[in-house]
Amino acid sequence: MNNMRKKGIIIPLSDAPQGSVVKIVGLPPQPNLRIRLMQMGLVPGAIVEVFHNDRGPLTIKVKGVMIGIGRGMARKILVQIVE
């Protein structure tokens, strides 16, 4: 898990450690899913705080809004560790 804390590495959002701050660098290619994520504020360059990533859905904060996101969807979002 310590490797996951290294700044700059790119990982799926589902692997981001609880308490970390990440930047979205990639979204899935499926148009419908991509649009849905973008409507929730999950756009490339957005800064996301990971509040809960134990089991079940992840709880994240993006643009001041708390969001629950399923693990399957979170696996398709690529992020870069910022903090």
Residue 5 scores a pLDDT above 70: no
Residue 76 scores a pLDDT above 50: yes
Contacts with 63 (C-beta within 8 Å, 6 or more apart), sequence order: 41, 46
**Confidence grade of residue 1 (pLDDT, cut at 50, 70, 90):** very low
* Structure confidence by residue, pLDDT tens digits, 19-74: 999 999 999 999 999 999 999 999 999 999 999 999 899 999 999 999 999 999 99
- Domains of the chain, start order: 2-81 (2.30.30.90)
Contacts with 25 (C-beta within 8 Å, 6 or more apart), sequence order: 10, 44, 78, 79, 80
Give the number of other CB atoms < 10 A from CB of residue 72. Answer: 9
Provide mean pLDDT across the span 13-20. 95
The 3-state secondary structure of 21-61 reads: EEEEEECCCCHHHHHHHHHCCCCCCCEEEEEECCCCCEEEE
